[in-house]
Amino acid sequence: MKIKYFAWIKDITKKDYEFIEKDFPRNINELKKNLNTMYPDLEKHIMSDILRFAINKEYVSENSEIKSTDEIAIFPPVSGG
pLDDT digits (tens, 9 = 90+) for 22-38: 999 999 999 999 999 99
Q: Taking the C-alpha atoms of 39, 43, 46 and 50 in order, what is their torsion angle to the nearest 10 degrees?
A: -110
CATH of the domain at 14: 3.10.20.30
The CA angle 14-16-18, to the nearest 5 degrees, is 90
Alpha helix (H) ranges present in the chain? 8-13, 28-38, 43-47
Number of domains the chain is built from:
1
Q: Which domain holds residue 6?
A: 2-75
**Beta strand 2-5 with 71-75: parallel, antiparallel or unpaired?**
parallel
55 lies in a domain?
yes
Q: Tens of pLDDT along 46-75?
A: 999 999 999 999 999 768 999 999 999 999
81 in any annotated domain: no
Can you give the pLDDT at residue 78? 80
